Amino acid sequence: MGGHLPATVAAARNAVRAAVPRGSFVLVACSGGADSLALAAATAFLAGKGELRAGAVVVDHALQEDSAAVAAQAAGQVRALGLSPVLVKAPDVGGAGSEAEARAARYAAFEEALEETGADHVLLGHTLDDQAEQVLLGLARGSGTRSLAGIPAARGPYLRPFLGLRRAQTEAVCAHEALDYWTDPTNLERGPLRNRVRLDVLPVLEAALGPGVAEALARTATLARADADHLDRLARDALGDLLLPVAAPGCLALDLAGLRALGPALRGRVLRAAVVRLGGENPTLERIEAAERLVDGAGSAGPVQLAGHVAAYRERPDGPHGPARRALVLEGTAPEGRTGDRETER
């Protein structure tokens, strides 16, 4: 198209340019919605300039009657933009399928697409609005700094270039590029909590506090993620310092005195890191508090059941480490090395 380039289109292209390493081979995850189609258009423009190589992956969850037609239309539009290869995946979600099941199937399809094509990254179309919703959900759960950190801009092969753009901007990009985007009717249902946050909570906050609430929540996520990442690095270092030798496989022993000396911001993170190292999922706050009571010597010596088939107990004074190096022992039945710290934001 000739004429003046709209600022929204330039912003979308620059967002992809900033997020994707030059020369990368990427796949745009495209649902047919405005966000992912706008991402496909911006990425295709950069591919046309030789800045990167780009294909796409379209996932049909088959959870709605017209899902196959939506997937076919999305695939056709991204092919017309010049993306290649374009893979259409139809994973088996199983019956009605929950949001979590659909998400797991979607990421499994992305992993397959990465393996089949040899692509470096999958680009996801989450926007600043998604980020604001995620922060509000984290506040509602009371889950701490990591939950307030929201959706990561990059994790593993997954990149989210549009976390600084609003949904209205992606719709404007689609209008400029003459792309016919699909609106998922389930996004208008008020049953799911995320939808109520989007449709009811954020508009009320904007009306009461004035414009800019979503941007402020997104800034909160950026700051919280930096803090959480730093504390998690300190916790991993502390865990390494506190480990005691153990003879049994699938066990970790942590120096009890050293654990007690840690500040509260680190101690819970060290315990979480230990559980994850044994193959468990991140424990809830309730389970971590129970483990911390073990550390403090309150109540029984355990065991306390933590997430992912991991249990913790205080070693007796006459245990293998002796009274001078009493230990908190964690035993896991999950396979060693399996990580529970998988991407859970969206």
Task: Count the domains in the chain.
Answer: 2
Q: Tell me the residue length of the chain.
A: 346
Q: What is the pLDDT of residue 268?
A: 92
| Residue 144 labelled as part of a binding site | no
Q: What is the DSSP string of 219-267?
A: HHHHHHHHHHHHHHHHHHHHHHHHEE--SSTTEEEEEHHHHHHS-HHHH
In a domain, 67, yes or no: yes
**pLDDT > 90? residue 51:** yes
Q: What is the pLDDT of residue 97?
A: 57
In a domain, 142, yes or no: yes
> Average pLDDT over the chain, rounded to whole?
88
pLDDT greater at residue 301 or residue 46: 46
Q: What is the pLDDT of residue 306?
A: 85
Indicate whether 124 and 273 sit together in one domain: no
> Which residues span the domain enclosing 214?
7-221
User: Residue range 140-153: average pLDDT?
Assistant: 86
User: Residue range 63-75: average pLDDT?
Assistant: 87
**pLDDT > 80? residue 68:** yes
In a domain, 227, yes or no: no
Q: What is the pLDDT of residue 339?
A: 41
| Best CA proximity match to 192, nearest among 201, 205, 204, 183 | 201
Indicate whether 182 and 287 sit together in one domain: no
| Residue 129 labelled as part of a binding site | no
Q: Check which CATH number belongs to the domain holding 71 and give it.
A: 3.40.50.620
pLDDT greater at residue 137 or residue 61: 137
Q: What is the pLDDT of residue 117?
A: 97
Indicate whether 314 and 178 sit together in one domain: no
| Residue 36 labelled as part of a binding site | yes
| Residue 35 labelled as part of a binding site | yes
In a domain, 22, yes or no: yes
**pLDDT > 70? residue 85:** yes
Indicate whether 186 and 263 sit together in one domain: no
In a domain, 236, yes or no: no
In this prediction, residue 110 has a pLDDT band, given cuts at 50, 70 and 90, of: very high
In this prediction, residue 324 has a pLDDT band, given cuts at 50, 70 and 90, of: low
Count Cβ atoms below 10 Å from residue 341 Cβ, excluding itself: 15
In a domain, 238, yes or no: no
Q: Of 174, 206, 221, which residue is a domain's last? A: 221
In a domain, 1, yes or no: no
Using left for φ > 0, alpha for ψ between -120 and 50, and beta otherwise, residue 299 falls in: left
Indicate whether 55 and 159 sit together in one domain: yes
pLDDT greater at residue 72 or residue 304: 72
Using left for φ > 0, alpha for ψ between -120 and 50, and beta otherwise, residue 117 falls in: alpha
Q: What is the pLDDT of residues 158-211, one digit of tens each?
A: 999 999 999 999 999 999 999 999 988 888 888 888 999 999 999 999 999 999
Indicate whether 173 and 117 sit together in one domain: yes
Q: Which helix (H) or strand (E) holds 140?
A: helix 128-141
pLDDT greater at residue 133 or residue 301: 133
The whole model's pTM is what?
0.83
